[in-house]
Chains A and B, each alone.
Chain A
């Protein structure tokens, strides 16, 4: 039985879109919150240092903290991205393998992304 290519493309688009729509909303909300909070923290630290309310005891700690928070934010975004790649990959391969199995009657082993690299 031949594959219905047009339907397969539509099914794959739907599978990827449903994952990406939800994930982009999460990414955007997280990024907006983090960037705003890090900027506010930077302003708070600046104000505290110039007014003397942040003392020598904690000044370096808060300055180092700003640098690390930005890096940690980037790492978290990368982690979210990796999880999204996993979700999209599994959604697409799920659609493809289901279609191929239905058309051929064969039982195909589910591919593993890491083995393709």
Chain B
């Protein structure tokens, strides 16, 4: 007669163990497939646009490119919102790093750990494409400037993509 309550107790204990085992500590935001997919799509679209302006542009043909610029900027802004909407768990790591830096007389790191670093990188990509669009509209861009815009965008893209992929754990 005592076997059934014991079996139930064991089952409950196992369920509790599985539940608690799943509650691993989280210090970084959750991996979000939608952000990663959005980044990959935006990277492709950005590189295609940069290839189209790589030889330099003239303002006379800006109207042809404008819809592509605007669509890309809109997509990047939406992606930055999506990436920044995830809660970032509060942790004392920055405080610990700053305490160690202070002991050595070094400048502290800023405490902007409330948003994922990829959010900033995506915003900067959007800003760079916006600057490229505005310069293109105003007087066209030189081939050299197109190369510099591309260099800046690639660096931020690498930061965002590396971080977001790293969150898959």
Question: Contact residues of A with B, CB < 8 Å?
Answer: 26, 30, 33-34, 37-38, 40-41, 44-45, 48, 51, 53-55, 57-58, 61-62, 65, 68-69, 72-76, 78-83, 85-87, 89-90, 93-94, 97, 101, 107-114, 117
Contacts and interface: CB of A to CB of B under 8 A. Distances in A.
Nearest to B116: A79
B151 to A, nearest CB: 4
Contact of B151 (A26, A33, A44, A51): A44
Contacts of B25: 86, 89-90, 93, 110-114
B125 to A, nearest CB: 11
A30 B166 CA distance: 11
A111 B17 CA distance: 13
Given A58-B148, A65-B124, 13 more contacts: A41-B151, A45-B148, A53-B145, A57-B135, A58-B141, A58-B145, A62-B152, A65-B128, A72-B120, A73-B159, A97-B21, A108-B20, A110-B24
A108 B16 CA distance: 9
Interface of B: 13, 16-17, 20-21, 23-28, 89-94, 97, 109, 112-113, 116-118, 120-121, 124, 128, 131, 135, 138-139, 141-145, 147-148, 151-152, 154-156, 158-159, 162-163, 166-167, 169
Given A58-B135, A79-B116, A83-B169, A101 B144 contact: no
A69 B155 contact: yes
B144 A53 contact: yes
A78 B24 contact: no
A117 B66 CA distance: 51
Contact of A79 (B16, B117, B145): B117
Given A26-B166, A75-B117, A82 B147 contact: no
Contact of B159 (A55, A62, A72, A85): A72
Contact of A110 (B21, B27, B89): B21
Nearest to B56: A53
Given A54-B145, A83-B167, A85-B93, A107 B155 contact: no
B117 A65 contact: no
A99 to B, nearest CB: 13
A72 B121 contact: yes
A76 B131 contact: no
B117 to A, nearest CB: 4
B113 to A, nearest CB: 7
Contacts of B135: 57-58
